[in-house]
Amino acid sequence: MRFKKICTADIGKKNCHTLAFYKKQGGYKQAAKALKKWAPDDLIEEVKASNLRGRGGAGFPTGVKWAFVPKNSKKPKYLVVNADESEPGTFKDRLIMEKNPHILLEGIIICCKAVAIEHAYIYIRGEFVFATERLQQAIDEAYKAGILGDNCLRSGIKIDVTIHRGAGAYICGEETGMLTSLEGYRGEPKLKPPFPAVEGVFGCPTVVNNVETLANLPYILEVGAKAYRSIGPEKSPGPKLFCVSGHVEKPGTFELPMGIPLRTLIDKHAGGVWKGRKLKAVIPGGTSAHVLTAAECDVAMDIDSLAAAGTMLGSAGIIVMDDSTCMVDALLNVMRFYHHESCGQCTPCREGTGWLEKIVQRIAHGEGRMEDLELIHDVCDRMLGKTICALADAAAFPAQSIVTKFSDDFVAAIENGGSPAWKKRHLSTVGGGASHG
Amino acid sequence: MARGDTPMTRWLLNGQEVENPTGMTIMEAAREHGVDIPDFCYHPGLSIAGNCRICMVESNRSPKPIIACSERIADGLEIKTDSDVAVEARNSVMEFQLINHPLDCPVCDKSGECILQDHSYTHGPDRSRFVEDKNIRHTKELGPTISIWGNRCIVCTRCVRFCDEISGTGELCVVERGDRAVVDVFPGIPIDNAMAGNTVDICPVGALISEDFKFEARVWNMDRRDSVCGGCARGCNIEVETLDGYVKRLLPRENLEVNDWWMCDHGRYGWRHLYSENRLTTARTANQELEDDSATSTLADFVSRAKKVAFLIDPFLTCEELSLIHGLSSSIPDSIVGGWLPPKGTAEQFPSGFTISSAKHPNRRGAEKIFGSKVFGKDGKDLLKALDSRKVSTLIAFCGGPAEEGPGSSWSEAIRKARKRIVFSVMDGDWLKGASLVVPATAPLEKEGTWINEDGRLQRARSCWKPGDEPFCPELVRLQQVQMACEIRTRCLSAAGVFRELAENIKAFSQHSHSDLGDGGLPLSRRRARVDSKGGTR
Ligand SMILES: Cc1cc2nc3c(=O)[nH]c(=O)nc-3n(C[C@H](O)[C@H](O)[C@H](O)COP(=O)(O)O)c2cc1C
Ligand code: SF4
Ligand code: SF4
Ligand code: SF4
Ligand code: FES
């Protein structure tokens, strides 16, 4: 099937965020169909058949996740929309919420019908002030138009949507961390099982889906699972938002079919590496993913191809680094983030993230030792697979792959008294020549 | 498979097929087979947090190590606790726990009973690969009795869960993230609840510090005795820790029938009066101090020549002491017995079910079993009347409570109306002026014997005194010596021996003996539960 942009086709247009505009493009037709014509089980089957996979990072099949929710639970069920978007290099959900909020609301209605949910929360990153305003306007419009509320689109079905603003913690993007935060507690991931589908927010069955995941639902109903599956690779299909940042001429969010070659994405859509420089490294799926060297960049941008290449699509935050980048400084930046954001529950993550930052910082600041490279590996090994949530892994992956694939930069920093950028900064502040303390 | 009615699960523990009740966690089940999986954050009385990760083991359930404190056994599950994967996982956690830890054991109160210390010996690295600066976290008071030494905190959240789940007061929380995370209170809301002291006990390291015990003793120098708290009629099971015969600290002792793993702060800190200036330790007559021995003979003298005798008992006395008093009173024709009770305090109940009784004494039930249910009621009133109308010429009164004013003003006034008054008292006070004989009495923590708590549970208290170094003769012995002087006894027995006599004389006790009571006591008139055929007790 021919590829069509579903989230961003009209985002340059005036009033593209309004209900009137959205309806003119055929908006809420699929929601009406879902509410009035589709049986819940059929909806779940259709989404399963579409092979839609979560856009939040883990790539879990959406229909399969919905099917885990117990059918005859006496407790209420909830949908919690993950709009916390804090993975470094990721800015796609924000675009949807600012420019096309109604597509998210329509997706929410479809999900709620499929799983018999009456209340959806949108957990939105606290820094997204403008997106929150736009989303709230859209919700208000939808209530006023009878699209949300006690009798959605005159179907007799009740769906309420409430926005909850986070307070700026990356860990509240992890689904169970998000749920504890939504409950009013300190945002800390919980042990699984129980999985949210069985025991989520307020102890009730809960579906957690990413903004972009839900935004795909109207289109799946519009064209049917079979046609949707034919966009990109069959096992990981669909239109996809790719966020390209870093050393490119035209950074931005690009909606393209899954499976687009990474090179095409960078060179054609993002205008190529900037200033005529050469490509050095790419982080393909947010900083939690393993880094790719320039030589490894001939890869298709879909879940399975990137997994086969030893990395992941993750949040599709693509960070491009040119050949002027010192990978020691790049890693220091990444490690500072995870050290700052670890919630601190699990011993390996709490201590490991801090330790890694300190080691990398020491190397960048000219006090590195050769044995530190081995030590970084060991510390990562000791963190991997030993914690409640995946944040520890997310810190260890880039550390291991950057140190392995760019060991020359590290050896140079160790042998030459620090990373080039640090030496430059340091020499200009202390006045040439003096060695640091 | 079933053990009794319990369905059983078969699984493999280190290559051996084993069986445990279905639904058990791997950690609990492994411990039943003598395989100890280390823990920090796990506590049997709290919800599972699964955050410390020290209990990771290898399994056939997942390629990653799994945590034994939270995951449950299942048919066909294979667990290895000593494989390379398990050992490496444990060593990892130990290395991480120690990198920022100050390792200030020489000045840490927890040293010697610290779980981190213990696990370091067994699972920790013998040198550090950490060459960075260590993190600094806050040291501050969290409340009137507790402070946090943040650098030592391993963020296991035991203390936080305790305040959420057991005391229900919720004062503690973790603040900050990552390796800055540390326990704190909300601004202006100190930890100040009647169970707060337990947080210090369950802190696996020396992060929570009791101001009461800080720098008081190294734990390995102290002697420990299993006993029972006399602070209220609940009778929490405790450990009494002493240095050279002096109490330094009380700790709760697990008893799921009485106090779970906890005790209240009133009981925990309620022993300072033992060493107060007004503690009575020497006997005296109206005009002179007495040697301890001659106090006994003077007492025997009084008793053997006494007429119109009355006994005033209290609810602090043990069943054994009460039994001896009973023996004396029965041997003196027309003697009367009544009892006094300290004023009612406040009862408290916590969400976990833990309760503090409003009856601030340990053995009202015991006294009523021995002297009848009216001893603190009508009998007490009758005694008061008899004293008021000067019908009592010799009164032998007991005052084992912590109050310096003794049994209270109405009793003190009435007592003065007896011509001869012999008073056993823990504390000295004005109300003792003019007594014919004042005898130092043991306080609850100093008694050997049994009490019956408010649920009718017979439990053994033990004395904190250093054997052979007693500051004065305890009532248990002194009363027997008096009985010998009065020729109603031939030899002096231990508390267990006196209890045997009690069991012979009074039916309610007939089923019991000291040795039967074990560590946790038994409901009165019920013998130790029979051991069932499969070896477990029920
Ligand atoms: C540390 C961490 C941070 C995460 N942050 C986000 C996030 O900001 N947004 C998001 O949608 N998913 C995030 N996830 C993934 C969620 O846990 C979850 O898998 C996802 O929201 C499920 O939705 P999906 O199936 O629609 O992708 C994060 C996961 C981890 C481990
Ligand atoms: S892995 Fe890190 S972020 Fe995740 S729960 Fe554990 S400590 Fe928190
Ligand atoms: S203070 Fe003690 S009990 Fe509380 S979290 Fe820290 S180490 Fe655990
Ligand atoms: S509840 Fe009663 S018995 Fe238990 S510790 Fe407190 S005072 Fe002692
Ligand atoms: S004891 Fe199991 S994770 Fe702490």
Q: Based on the domain organization, do B426 and B347 belong to the same domain?
A: yes
Q: How many domains is chain B partitioned into structurally?
A: 3
pLDDT in tens, B125-149: 889 999 999 999 999 999 999 999 9
Q: Based on the domain organization, do B417 and B473 belong to the same domain?
A: yes
Domain of residue B146 covers 103-114+131-215
Quote the distance between the C-alpha of residue B330 and its chain's center: 34
Quick one: DSSP state of residue A290? P
pLDDT in tens, B347-369: 999 999 999 999 999 999 999 99
Q: Based on the domain organization, do B85 and B107 belong to the same domain?
A: no
Nearest CA in chain A to B55: A386
> How is B126-155 classified by DSSP, letter by letter?
SS----SPPP---EEE-SSSEEEEGGG---
Q: Based on the domain organization, do B56 and B110 belong to the same domain?
A: no
Contacts of A380 (CB under 8 A, 6+ apart): A352, A356, A395, A396, A399, A400
Q: Based on the domain organization, do B351 and B456 belong to the same domain?
A: yes
Contacts of B328 (CB under 8 A, 6+ apart): B303, B311, B479, B482, B483, B486, B488
Q: Tell me if chain A has a CB within 8 Å of the CB of B49.
A: yes
Q: Based on the domain organization, do B79 and B138 belong to the same domain?
A: no
Q: Based on the domain organization, do B80 and B110 belong to the same domain?
A: no
Ligand 2: does its nearest atom lie under 6 Å from the Cβ of A345?
yes
Query: A262 with A289: CB under 8 angstroms?
Result: no
Q: Based on the domain organization, do B192 and B78 belong to the same domain?
A: no
Please give the C-alpha separations between residue B362 and each of A218, B249, B273, B515, B524, in angstroms, as whole numbers.
Answer: 71, 19, 17, 20, 15
State which amino acid sits at residue B155: V
Instruction: Tell me which of A26-30, A285-289, B195-199, B534-538 is least confident.
Output: B534-538
Q: Based on the domain organization, do B64 and B109 belong to the same domain?
A: no
Residue B107 inside a domain? The answer is yes
For residue B52, which ligand has an atom nearest its CA?
Answer: 5
pLDDT in tens, A358-389: 999 999 999 999 999 999 999 999 999 999 99
Residue B502 inside a domain? The answer is yes
Ligand 5: does its nearest atom lie under 6 Å from the Cβ of B41?
yes
Q: Based on the domain organization, do B65 and B110 belong to the same domain?
A: no
Distance CA B128, CA B145 (A): 35
What confidence score (pLDDT) does residue B3 get? Answer: 61
Helix (H) or strand (E) holding A103: helix A101-115
State which amino acid sits at residue A190: K
Q: What is the CATH number of the domain that holds B20?
A: 3.10.20.740
Q: Based on the domain organization, do B466 and B493 belong to the same domain?
A: yes
Angle of helix A371-383 relative to helix A391-405, nearest 10 degrees, comes to 150
pLDDT in tens, A163-216: 999 998 999 999 999 999 999 999 999 999 999 999 999 999 999 999 999 999
Residue B221 inside a domain? The answer is no
Pairing of strands A78-83, A119-124: parallel
Atom of ligand 3 at shortest distance to CA of B154?
Answer: 7
Sequence-separated contacts (24+) of A405-409 with Cβ below 8 Å:
A405/A281, A405/A291, A405/A293, A406/A281, A406/A291, A406/A293, A406/A327, A407/A373, A409/A326, A409/A327, A409/A328
Q: Tell me if chain B has a CB within 8 Å of the CB of A350.
A: yes
Residue ranges of the alpha helices (H) in B55-162?
84-99, 115-123, 158-161
Residue B537 inside a domain? The answer is no
Residue B190 inside a domain? The answer is yes
Task: Tell me the average confidence (pLDDT) per consecutive run of 10 residues in chain A, 437 residues long.
Answer: 93 96 97 98 98 97 98 95 98 98 98 98 98 98 98 98 96 98 97 96 98 98 98 97 98 98 98 98 97 98 98 98 97 98 98 98 98 98 98 98 98 96 81 46
Name the residue among A253, A317, A217, A228 with its Cα closest to residue A99: A253
- Collect all residues of chain B within an 8 Å Cβ-Cβ radius of residue A353: 178-179
- Residue given tokens 């699964």 in the structure block: B50
Residue B240 inside a domain? The answer is no
Residue B234 inside a domain? The answer is no
3-state secondary structure (DSSP) of residue B348 = strand
What token pair was written down for A399?
């550390």
pLDDT in tens, B42-75: 999 999 999 999 999 999 999 999 999 999 999 9
Q: Which of B169, B196, B215 is the last residue of a domain?
A: B215
**Left, alpha or beta for B46 (phi > 0: left; psi -120 to 50: alpha)?**
beta
User: N- to C-terminal Cα distance for chain B?
Assistant: 19
- Asked whether the predicted pLDDT for residue B527 surpasses 80, the reply is no
A 309-348 residues with CB below 8 A of B?
Answer: 339-348
What confidence score (pLDDT) does residue B536 get? Answer: 38
Option in B53, B99, B181 nearest A386 (CB): B53
Q: Tell me if chain A has a CB within 8 Å of the CB of B99.
A: yes
Nearest CA in chain A to B58: A386
3-state secondary structure (DSSP) of residue B159 = helix
Ligand 5: does its nearest atom lie under 6 Å from the Cβ of B55?
yes
- Asked whether the predicted pLDDT for residue B340 surpasses 70, the reply is yes
Stretch B279-303: mean pLDDT: 94
Distance CA A388, CA A202 (A): 20
Stretch B463-490: mean pLDDT: 96
Q: What is the CATH number of the domain that holds B511?
A: 3.40.50.740
Q: What is the CATH number of the domain that holds B135?
A: 3.30.70.20
Quick one: DSSP state of residue A436? P
Residue B260 inside a domain? The answer is no
Q: Which of B195, B215, B235 is the last residue of a domain?
A: B215
Distance CA A244, CA A254 (A): 8
Q: Based on the domain organization, do B282 and B367 belong to the same domain?
A: yes
Atom of ligand 3 at shortest distance to CA of B172?
Answer: 4
Distance CA B370, CA B225 (A): 27
What confidence score (pLDDT) does residue B2 get? Answer: 54
Domains and CATH numbers, chain A: 19-229 (3.40.50.11540), 239-322 (3.10.20.600), 327-426 (1.20.1440.230)
